[in-house]
Amino acid sequence: MMLINGVQIDETFAEAFNMRGTRVIITAQNLKWAYHAANAMTGFATSVIGCGVEAGIERELNIEETPDGRPGLSILMFAMGSKVLMQQLETRMGQCILTCPTAAAFAGIESEDRINLGKNLRFFGDGYQTSKLFSNANGMSKRYWRIPVMDGEFLCEETTGMVRAIGGGNFLILATSQPAALAAAEAAIEAMKQIPNVIMPFPGGVVRSGSKVGSKYKTMFASTNDAFCPTLKGATNTELSPEIESVMEIVIDGLNFEDIAEAMRVGIQAICDLGEASGVKRISAGNYGGKLGPHHFKLHEIMGKSST
């Protein structure tokens, strides 16, 4: 058994799957409007089960980090396939960034695979759009589009990179009450936000409706994770001991295995630092016997072999 500051870490793994991902840099006159654009673009993007894409704000950027020297944010978007990701990115760019006062958008990741940012969005300019092609010392070129809009111009890079990514890293927080589980989740999220290349796409980074693969209803391919539902202890093959009254899950999407594992580590450690007195009894994870995905995040390996 592994115990960290009195909190039990289950000997299990989080099972994650392959995705395609991209990063977009959004800038604006100030952070307020950059957040308005980014929040709109990453809205309704919690799970590919119902949203098609999973997206979130990665971090704030200072003026030295943005292409146009203005305050900005980086956002990450993930989908199960390149076609869906490209479609979702173009739709959200047109409805959420083009429409937002003072906002601009730029490539946030470089790769051989390129997907459209402003390439098709330029047609909104109705023939009045203009472009500029820049080449760097390495011979690489980038095209930017300037689209006339009513507050001036919308500046957008033509494409951004698309890379292979991972979705579905996760861990479960088992606590004696709902307030205890949520407080622990909040502490974990604050620590995990410091890790680059990852997002926690659910509301506030936390999901209460963890799911299992399959359902007794033929039209459902995912349904409530009854083994971790406190109100079903007497009606199902429960994973919960009598004192557990609330379970919260944190799901992580990332550009690589290592950063997802590190996000899990710092999040779990932040919870364990609260101690057993916080009401948290166990940390577990969602796995499906290897049926869901090839990436296995083993909790004991992530947290270290020795217990304290």
For 289, the 3-state DSSP assignment is coil
**Domain 20-163, what architecture?**
2-Layer Sandwich (3.30)
CATH topology identical between 2-15+166-303 and 20-163: yes
Query: For 254, how many CA atoms within 13 A lie in the half-sphere containing its CB?
Result: 22
Domain borders along the chain are 2-15+166-303, 20-163
**How far apart, in whole angstroms, are the C-alpha atoms of residue 234 and residue 64?**
57
Q: What is the pLDDT of residue 136?
A: 67
Q: What percent of the chain has pLDDT over 70?
A: 97
Model confidence at 139, pLDDT cuts 50, 70, 90, reads low
Best CA proximity match to 108, nearest among 72, 132, 140, 83: 72
How many DSSP H helices and E strands does the chain contain?
Answer: 5, 18
Cα distances (Å, whole numbers) of residue 253 to 57, 78, 170, 298, 307: 12, 8, 9, 16, 27
The residue-averaged pLDDT of 57-76 equals: 97
**How far apart, in whole angstroms, are the C-alpha atoms of residue 129 and residue 1?**
63
Model confidence at 305, pLDDT cuts 50, 70, 90, reads low
Q: Is the model's pLDDT at 1 over the cut of 90?
A: no
The residue-averaged pLDDT of 43-65 equals: 96
Contact 163, 22 (CB under 8 A): yes
**How far apart, in whole angstroms, are the C-alpha atoms of residue 192 and residue 35?**
19
Q: What is the pLDDT of residues 249-272, one digit of tens each?
A: 999 999 999 999 999 999 999 999
CATH number listed for the domain at residues 2-15+166-303:
3.30.70.520
Q: What is the pLDDT of residues 191-238, one digit of tens each?
A: 999 999 999 999 999 999 998 888 999 888 889 999 999 999 989 999
